[in-house]
Structure 1
């Protein structure tokens, strides 16, 4: 291998090294930006009657039938389907907490 060929190879390796350093810098910048994107809160999934009914039924099967009935009345209805959909998140929180204090 001639001296010119070795110099060309060395220059090529130097260029590769510079390219790798640039790529590493770009990846680090993106990594620093990623937490900001991850911190953006995703919109809450809209709860449906079926979602609430599933949790309420589970609680009733666990022996909390009367508490479920009282909770439905607390939210102004005689039956689950009578509860205003806007109140599902609050009701779901109470359902999920039900029985956890035992």
Structure 2
């Protein structure tokens, strides 16, 4: 084997060793960064958000209940929430309104 080809082979092996060392360093970095993340204080649990209802969903539920014979109770429920008609209800009150409507059935 000539000196040049021998030198080329040694350089190739040296590059492979360097790449292997880089891979090991990356693996160790990843390992230690994930380990330190595991020891961080977990965030306090947050309340589950209340489901947001649209006017269409509330109107659909009221229509079903009205067909089932609960029209008078639904009118009373609207009055309880300070409205004459469903479109007058504040959208932030839809969840409470539906919860009260479920109690009627």
The answer to whether 1:67 aligns with 2:77 is: no
Note if contact 2:50-2:95 (Cα within 8 Å) is conserved in structure 1.
Answer: no
Larger Rg: 2
Of the three residues 81, 95, 99, the one matched with 1:93 is 99
Note if contact 2:74-2:101 (Cα within 8 Å) is conserved in structure 1.
Answer: yes
Partner of 2:55: 49
Note if contact 1:55-1:96 (Cα within 8 Å) is conserved in structure 2.
Answer: no
Cα offset, 1:88, TM superposition: 1.0
Cα offset, 1:52, TM superposition: 1.0
Q: Tell me the SS of whatever aligns to 2:82.
A: coil
Cα offset, 1:51, TM superposition: 1.3
The answer to whether 1:79 aligns with 2:85 is: yes
Aligned alpha-carbon RMSD (Å): 4.0
> Structure 1: how far apart are the matches of 2:79 and 2:46?
36
After superposing on structure 2, the runs of 4+ consecutive aligned residues of structure 1 that deviate more than 3 Å are 39-42
Bigger share in helix: 1
Gap runs ≥5 in structure 1: 1-38
> Structure 2: how far apart are the matches of 1:75 and 1:42?
24
Partner of 2:5: none
Gap runs ≥5 in structure 2: 1-44
Cα offset, 1:43, TM superposition: 2.8
